[in-house]
Amino acid sequence: MSVLTLTIEGRDVAGQTGHTILQVARENGIAIPTLCHLQGLSDVGACRLCVVEVEGQRKLFPACVTTIDEGMKVTVNSERLAAHRRRIVELLFTERNHICSVCVADRNCELQDLAVEVGLTHFDLPLLSPQAVVDATHERFGIDHNRCVLCTRCVRVCDEIEGAHTWDVMGRGTEARLITDMGIPWGDSNTCTSCGKCVQVCPTGALFEKGRSVAEARRRRPYLPYLVAHEGRTR
Amino acid sequence: MSKPRLATIWLDGCSGCHMSLLDMDERLFDITERVDIVYGALVDVKEFPEDVDVTLVEGAISSEDDLRKIYEVRRNTRVLVSLGDCAVTSNVPGMRNQIGPAAILERAYLENVTINPQLPGPMVPRLLAMSRPVHAVVKVDVFVPGCPPSADLIHSVLDDLISGRVPVTAGVTCFG
Amino acid sequence: MTVAAAAPPASPPRDDKRWRQVDVRIRRLGARPDALIEVLHTVQEVFGYLDDDALSYVSEALGVPPSRVLGVATFYSHFVRKPQGEHTCVVCMGTACYINGAGAILSRIHDTLGIDAGGTTPDGQISLLRARCLGACSMAPAVVIDDEVHGRLSPDGVQQMLEAL
Amino acid sequence: MTEAGTPTPARRRRQESLIPAGPVRASAHVCMAAGCLSMQADTVFDSLCERVTARGLTDVAVKRVGCLGLCAAGPLVAVPEMGRMYDHVAAGDDAALDGVVDGLAGGEGGRQTATDPFFSHQVKVVLEHCGQIDPERVEDYVAVGGYESLTKAVTTMTPAEVLGEVSRSGIRGRGGAGYPTGLKWTTVAKTDSPQGKYVVCNGDEGDPGAFMDRSVLESSPQQVLEGMAIAGYAVGANHGYVYVRAEYPLAVKRLTTAIRQAEHAGLLGPRIADTSFGFDVEIRIGAGAFVCGEETALIASIEGGRGTPRPRPPYPAASGLWGKPTLINNVETLASIPAIIGRGAEWYSAIGSGKSLGTKVFALAGSVVNTGLIEVPLGLTLREIVFDIGGGLPGGGKFKAVQTGGPSGGCMPESLLDMSVDYESLAQAGSIMGSGGMIVMDDGTCMVDVAKFFMDFCREESCGKCVPCRVGTTQMYHLLDRITRGLASRDELGELESLAGMVRDTSLCGLGQGSPNPVVSTLRYFRDEYMAHIDDHVCPAGVCKMEPREAALAAGEVAP
Amino acid sequence: MLNLAQIVQSHALSFFYLSSPDLLLGFDSDPALRNLVGVARQTPDLARDGVALRRFGQRIIERLGGKRIHPAWVVPGGVSRPLDASERDSILAEIPDARERAHRTLEWFKKNVASWTEEAAHFGDFPSLYMGLVHEGGNAAYSDGLLRVVDSSGWVMADGVDPRAYDEYLGETVEPWSYLKSTYFKPLGYPAGIYRVGPLARLNVAERLGTSAADAELAEYRDRLGRYPSSSFHYHYARLIEIVHCIDVIDEILSRPDILDPHVRARAQINRNEGVGVSEAPRGVLIHHYKVDDDGLVEWVNLVIATGHNNLAMNRSVLQTARHYIKGDQVKEGMLNRVEAVIRCYDPCLSCSTHAVGQMPLEVDIRDAEGSLLRQVSR
């Protein structure tokens, strides 16, 4: 595995071939906002929060899936990127119904943290306020589609780590939403092993543990050792 | 130089933001010494005055009454501050936007009533089709998200405004 | 937690011989998971639409997780999950048709049949569908009634044709 | 090679062409593409056969052929030996039918294709055989030189030489992006892959208002297959897929027949032209998703999944279908290959101008007299295409704009009519070549409404995977909708423009990146129309219905 | 304890921030000065006591629930985490100061009560029923206990009522001119079944409060005003006594040996589909009635908020005060202020109970005997 040298934010850094800009940046303490990325799961480059500028390229590149090249000059923080990230977080907040004040994940949600990180204080765009349901048929867990940002972490962890592939996305565009098996209530699923990995990886209050309220913040992913062990393994 | 004229108003909100304003405890008197409170829950003024320097607006715009008031506030205020998630994002009052006001009124005033169920009549302000954040209707100068924003944050915002600084809430505080 | 429902039978009651056509198609494609879309095409050709039984059956036959099957079946607008009417009326909403008045045609059909795009008349006679582009742009605005393309239609012309069905 | 159709007047089993045994003095080519077919071209074909037989013209053939191009004037019958074209030969119109037969018998009538501007300006490479051969008889294609290029390639040229020929021809992707085809082929060829490689023909053609691929597949499917086989030989792939839209049933039928006949004739399958090179083709039918026109989404669809694009790199040329190197070209690109190999790169690069070489097929539609299919050398001006070839606007309508590139394209106003149609100029004008849809709009069209139409299209066709496109298109649509209802403020217009920039910069695939183009280009050339809607609450073209102000004010939908 | 802290802070807000300007500066004083700032300038100590008492209540809520407004500590099945020793001790340390301020304010009020006799007589002084929560022994209850209803002479109309049966005793009706529904006591029907809740009602309904200092004050309260005082003006006096009481109860609770017990959370599945909870909110009886489906999703809710109970009483009080203070067609500002002051006695929270109208539009129609409109005054 040969080592490549490049500059990120003007700093000379080195990384192994095949590693992504995100990996190398984080190894060198350079922060890049992410949402759909989760170490241990395959990357899909869907939320676009981690797009960065590469010198000599008009296009922006998602740091989570773009592998490094020798002599690459990467800019992570620029006015343009900051504005794009703020807009992406705003779009997510306006797509469905993210009412932090009454959400089970209040003060324990990555989308909420991102709003602070990108400096979002309000939404210029109107809230789309779609109708979305809550499925609490599972004995221990529930899903609130109002809070889902379609990052598909749950789909990936269920497929790649648990192997049950209970979750998938149905429909297209902004009508897309998560389903269990043939679109049946979660409690009736016969592929779900009730392992709860999806609940642990969900960045927002969409997947939650029943009986555990906002006051009892749930433990987050760092405690899932087997996820880190499967670094980047895709199936 | 006369003291800045401060007003507070609360539209479709739960008064939690005003309570948080009072939660600055003794510092409240430091603020009241440096400003004239010309309108609000703590003073007995009925008409919104003219040339107000700063108005803290709590609550979403949900009824025609809110709409009338916010236009009046905007006309007479230099710096309009959207205080709290309801004003900034329509928050909980906005949750009815998914199903519209009719369903809410029917549930409360027709279904859940023992005798003479009826929808409250012409004297009360009509609910708008959508409950909206303040900046969806008028220009807002400062956003203070939070449900409620902490007393410290409200104090620092007021302190900045009184001293002529532009308060920065981006990256400091968040919704919820 | 309700007692886990008995797993759906390996293959749903298939007294209908049309299933054999589906089985043949599955076998010819080697029952590989990536033949999913081709098999769904066959099921829709044979049965007219994709109901949950059919989707579950295909999921079992190809070894594709049910959630993925439903995900694919609902991604593509060609697949329909409700039985279609006797007759189908597809209004093309491509650019050429749109600027030549396809919108007026669609609203006239809505007024005549009382249904919206994607719906079927209560008597199950006519299904109204909206297409992105049928490639009949030279005859815009175009409407396809039961696989027959009709070009340069006026709202009145469409109404007469529908009433004749 | 099977024997030509038998001349006996017995009722033909499946409407085969009427071909006399002896020498043929003249032949009537009846267009059987979807357009004319929908105007009962098959009845026209039967009537002509009966009349020719009744008149005892034993040296006249009546052939079923593909698209003759001028769909506006369908049903069409061409007599190539006399350079004539009969239009509006309606099924029940005896006078017109007799007119054709009189012509065949030696009389006058019909248009002279040599002088008619619709035909004279065209240079047919891709459409060369369209309307000449019977798409459902491989013999016809072989008779006009079909598969000679494939045979020449596999027997006399090395893959590298084929690559060189294609690269030197300067041909660029006809799907829309205009990526140099030679470069793409070389990348695939360079990547070695023991488990094999694939050639994929992208026939998804989701652009509304574009029907070039449909006509090519319906009129000369063999040409595409030959192009795929040559590509397979050049890049070292033995297996190909043709991905065709479900909305083109006739194209699928004729392609299936073409594959079977080609395999039967040894032109496809294990040993092509008795060499060790084998190439077989499978058809994959799309199921209605515009996004599947994008390479990685197409791959995901062929793999039986949801058509959601994947980030690139890795590009399909390096790792595509099932992870193997995959060459993906548009129908039109592949249909040009046989001519390039047959007549050489120099002949092809002599056509066109600058960096846009060769010919391009355009689908003329909208408010233009001669709606139909044309193939012209790149570099012609918009005016020549719309007015000279297209015959201008019907009923003397006033030209307002022409839209190219579909939902990722843009609108060109009158001031750009003299702009040359090539990749670079279109990009500069804020549009893209796209697949070739060219829709002419008269002054009865509201450009804001058109922008909203395309945004509505992108919103519904977005695969929903990446945030900027999924939510961005929906929010841009709402802003455009408010503008068309006269409710929007200038601030909202600012929001629209800033959102457009962000969606273009950050979306994962072409659909999202291109979705703002219609808005940006109509804002660039028709900003006054937007301002009329916003400031004066008026739709200059009278298309949009303005909401009453007082109601909107009372509902808090607009600021005072 | 959280509820008691809430009562202390809410009563402090009502008395010091909202009502003290009338009581201290006078109902007829200049409206521009008749506010908290005016009080702070004139009697800084009283204002400081108010702020301190409110802070005392809010700090308890903040320690337990993480934040002063919308705290997140109470969960289905108990509370999310136990109290730790340092929190208990820091609260205990603040009790003496709070107790002293409470008593000082009560003494100040008692000293001046004579100057408001006229107001006391016309601020909603009419017979009505009273409702509140009571323990078996007759002690006032704030977070459990059963409902008791007495009339103005003390006759017990209903006692030991299980909260689940609230809808047998309470009916709701709608007036076209208000989003606030009116509740009435069903056995007496509408509008006869007018009743009051809150501090005045609680002290009438209960035999005693249950803490020595407060019960002493209660005895003096009853000496001055009679066993069942019927004027809404006395809400103020009752509030101050309740502040004293709540502080003492908090002290008791914190001194219990098991206060730091970690077992504070019960976990259960959905074993019932319906539940009613009643407590004494600062402004009076608060009823929450929920129905959930088998998965635990709330399907149906009915909340009867304290201010809703008092709606009929408030309307009656406005009528009485207006009749008394508005003579002829001359209306002085102080008179209109009294009409509003009577509503302040109830300490209504219109936002919580209506969620629609935030401001009190006050319009007074002045008609002559025949009812023809003389003048219309709005404030």
Mean pLDDT across chain E: 88
For residues D177 and D279, state if they share a domain.
yes
Is the confidence at residue C150, as pLDDT, over 80? yes
pLDDT of residue E323: 85
Residue D86 pLDDT grade (very low, low, confident, very high; cuts 50, 70, 90): confident
- The residue-averaged pLDDT of C103-131 equals 89
Residue D458 pLDDT grade (very low, low, confident, very high; cuts 50, 70, 90): very high
For residue A216, what is the nearest residue in chain E, using CA coordinates?
A: E80
pLDDT of residue E366: 62
pLDDT of residue D76: 87
Is the confidence at residue D5, as pLDDT, over 60? no
The Cα B94–Cα A129 span in angstroms is 9
Residue E223 pLDDT grade (very low, low, confident, very high; cuts 50, 70, 90): very high
pLDDT of residue C9: 41
Residue D113 pLDDT grade (very low, low, confident, very high; cuts 50, 70, 90): confident
Copy the structure tokens of residue D547.
């909401």
pLDDT of residue B24: 92
For residues D257 and D285, state if they share a domain.
yes
- Residue D327 has φ and ψ, to the nearest 5°, of -95, 120
Considering chain B, what percentage of its residues have pLDDT values greater than 90? Answer: 74
Considering only the beta carbons, identify the residue of A45, A84, A91 that sits closest to D508. Answer: A45
Q: Taking CA E356 as the corner, what is the angle to CA B16 and CA B25, rounded to the nearest 5 degrees? A: 20
Is the confidence at residue A218, as pLDDT, over 70? no
For residues D240 and D170, state if they share a domain.
yes
Question: Which residue among D349, D374, D396 closes a domain?
Answer: D349
Considering only the beta carbons, identify the residue of E51, E172, E356 that sits closest to B26. Answer: E51
**Residue B169 resides in a domain:** no
Q: Which of A57, A59, A87 to substitute to test the interface with D, most D CBs within 10 Å?
A: A87
Q: What CATH number is given to the structural domain containing D286?
A: 3.40.50.11540
Q: Which domains does chain C have, with CATH numbers?
A: 18-73 (no CATH), 87-164 (3.40.30.10)
Is the confidence at residue D470, as pLDDT, over 80? yes
**Residue B108 resides in a domain:** no
With contact defined as 3+ CB pairs under 8 Å, the chains touching B are A, D, E
**Bigger pLDDT: D84 or B152?**
B152
The Cα E354–Cα E375 span in angstroms is 30
Considering chain D, what percentage of its residues have pLDDT values greater than 90? Answer: 55
- Find the range with the poorest average confidence among B46-50, D449-453, E205-209: B46-50
pLDDT of residue D13: 47
pLDDT of residue E126: 92
**Residue D127 resides in a domain:** no
Copy the structure tokens of residue B48.
């919104």
- Residue E31 has φ and ψ, to the nearest 5°, of -55, -30
- The residue-averaged pLDDT of D86-95 equals 85
**A113 at interface of C, judged by CB pairs closer than 8 A:** no
**Bigger pLDDT: C146 or B154?**
B154
Tell me, what DSSP letter sits at residue E114?
A: G
- The residue-averaged pLDDT of A92-116 equals 93
For residues D427 and D486, state if they share a domain.
no
Residues contacting residue E371 through CB under 8 Å, at least 6 positions apart: none
pLDDT of residue A221: 60
Mean pLDDT across chain D: 89
- The residue-averaged pLDDT of B115-124 equals 88
Considering only the beta carbons, identify the residue of D288, D365, D454 that sits closest to C96. Answer: D365
For residues D217 and D317, state if they share a domain.
yes
Residues contacting residue D122 through CB under 8 Å, at least 6 positions apart: D69, D374, D375, D376, D389
Domain of D98? 26-120
Report yes or no: E20 and E245 within 8 Å, Cβ to Cβ: no
CA distance E29 to chain B (A): 11
Report yes or no: E344 and E22 within 8 Å, Cβ to Cβ: yes
With contact defined as 3+ CB pairs under 8 Å, the chains touching C are A, D
Mean pLDDT across chain C: 85
The Cα C137–Cα D35 span in angstroms is 9
Residues contacting residue B121 through CB under 8 Å, at least 6 positions apart: E176, E177
pLDDT of residue C113: 87
pLDDT, tens digit (0-9, with 9 covering 90-100), for E88-104: 999 999 999 999 999 99
Is the confidence at residue D177, as pLDDT, over 90? no
pLDDT, tens digit (0-9, with 9 covering 90-100), for C55-94: 999 999 999 999 999 999 999 999 999 888 888 899 999 8
Is the confidence at residue E354, as pLDDT, over 70? no
Residue D12 pLDDT grade (very low, low, confident, very high; cuts 50, 70, 90): very low
pLDDT, tens digit (0-9, with 9 covering 90-100), for D231-288: 999 999 999 999 999 888 889 999 999 999 999 998 999 988 888 999 999 999 999 8
pLDDT of residue D346: 92
First to last CA, chain B: 38
**For the CA atoms of chain E, what is the radius of gyration?**
21
Burial of E323 (0-12, 13-18, 19+ CB in 10 A): exposed
For residues D100 and D249, state if they share a domain.
no
- The residue-averaged pLDDT of E161-171 equals 93
pLDDT, tens digit (0-9, with 9 covering 90-100), for B11-54: 999 999 999 999 998 899 899 999 999 998 888 787 899 999 99
**Residue B100 resides in a domain:** no
With contact defined as 3+ CB pairs under 8 Å, the chains touching A are B, C, D, E
Residue B121 pLDDT grade (very low, low, confident, very high; cuts 50, 70, 90): confident
pLDDT, tens digit (0-9, with 9 covering 90-100), for A120-135: 999 999 999 999 999 9
For residues D203 and D320, state if they share a domain.
yes
pLDDT, tens digit (0-9, with 9 covering 90-100), for D394-444: 887 899 999 998 899 999 999 999 999 999 999 898 898 888 889 999 999
Is the confidence at residue B142, as pLDDT, over 90? yes
**Nearest CA-CA partner of D311 in D455, D472, D512:** D512
For residues D171 and D197, state if they share a domain.
yes
**Bigger pLDDT: E337 or A144?**
A144
For residues D161 and D276, state if they share a domain.
yes
For residues D462 and D536, state if they share a domain.
yes
**C63 at interface of D, judged by CB pairs closer than 8 A:** no
pLDDT, tens digit (0-9, with 9 covering 90-100), for E289-307: 999 999 999 999 999 998 8
pLDDT of residue A161: 87
**Residue B154 resides in a domain:** yes
pLDDT of residue D297: 96
CA distances from D467 to A82, B11, C54, E313 (A): 16, 33, 33, 55
Mark out the alpha helices in A1-132 (DSSP H runs). 21-27, 79-95, 110-117
Is the confidence at residue C5, as pLDDT, over 80? no
Residue type, A32: I
Q: Which of B89, B134, B150 to substitute to test the interface with A, most A CBs within 10 Å?
A: B89
Report whether the peptide linkage leading into residue D311 is cis, meaning its omega lies within 30 degrees of zero.
Answer: no
- The residue-averaged pLDDT of E164-180 equals 91
pLDDT of residue C13: 54
Q: What CATH number is given to the structural domain containing B22?
A: 3.40.50.700
Residue type, A112: Q
- Find the range with the poorest average confidence among C2-16, C63-77, D80-94: C2-16
pLDDT of residue C44: 93
CA distances from E353 to B9, D428, E350 (A): 18, 62, 5
Mean pLDDT across chain B: 92
pLDDT of residue A217: 67
Q: Which residues of D touch B61 (CB under 8 A)?
A: 556
Domain assignments of chain A as residue spans, ordered by start = 3-77, 83-229
Residues contacting residue E248 through CB under 8 Å, at least 6 positions apart: E99, E211, E212, E213, E214
Considering only the beta carbons, identify the residue of B92, B132, B143 that sits closest to A102. Answer: B92
Is the confidence at residue A231, as pLDDT, over 70? no
Q: Do A174 and D306 touch (CB under 8 A)?
A: no
Residue for token digits 């136990």? Answer: E82
Considering chain C, what percentage of its residues have pLDDT values greater than 90? Answer: 36
- Find the range with the poorest average confidence among D330-344, E110-124, E129-143: E110-124
Is the confidence at residue C140, as pLDDT, over 70? yes
Residue A232 pLDDT grade (very low, low, confident, very high; cuts 50, 70, 90): very low
pLDDT of residue D524: 95
pLDDT, tens digit (0-9, with 9 covering 90-100), for A13-33: 999 999 999 999 999 999 999
For residue A186, what is the nearest residue in chain C, using CA coordinates?
A: C1
For residues D341 and D205, state if they share a domain.
yes
Is the confidence at residue D184, as pLDDT, over 70? yes
Q: Which residues of E touch A144 (CB under 8 A)?
A: none
- The residue-averaged pLDDT of A183-193 equals 95
**For the CA atoms of chain A, what is the radius of gyration?**
19
Residue A40 pLDDT grade (very low, low, confident, very high; cuts 50, 70, 90): confident
**E12 at interface of B, judged by CB pairs closer than 8 A:** no
Report yes or no: B11 and B74 within 8 Å, Cβ to Cβ: no
Q: Which residues of C touch D439 (CB under 8 A)?
A: 95-96, 99, 137
Domain A3-77 falls under CATH 3.40.1710.10: no
- The residue-averaged pLDDT of A85-99 equals 96
Is the confidence at residue C102, as pLDDT, over 60? yes
Which option is the CATH number for A83-229: 3.30.9.30, 1.10.1660.10, 3.30.70.20, 3.40.1080.10?
3.30.70.20
Considering only the beta carbons, identify the residue of E66, E75, E269 that sits closest to A213. Answer: E75
Report yes or no: D434 and D547 within 8 Å, Cβ to Cβ: no
Q: How many domains does chain B have?
A: 1
pLDDT of residue A224: 56
pLDDT of residue A43: 93
pLDDT of residue D533: 95
Q: How many domains does chain D have?
A: 4
Considering chain E, what percentage of its residues have pLDDT values greater than 70? Answer: 92
Domain of B53? 5-95+127-162
**Bigger pLDDT: D130 or A97?**
A97
pLDDT of residue A226: 54
Burial of E157 (0-12, 13-18, 19+ CB in 10 A): middle
Is the confidence at residue B2, as pLDDT, over 90? no
Q: Which residues of A touch D471 (CB under 8 A)?
A: 91-92, 94-95, 174
pLDDT of residue C146: 85
For residues D395 and D528, state if they share a domain.
no
pLDDT of residue A23: 94
Considering chain A, what percentage of its residues have pLDDT values greater than 70? Answer: 91
Residues paired with residue D411 on neighbouring β-strands, in sequence order = D403
Considering chain B, what percentage of its residues have pLDDT values greater than 70? Answer: 99
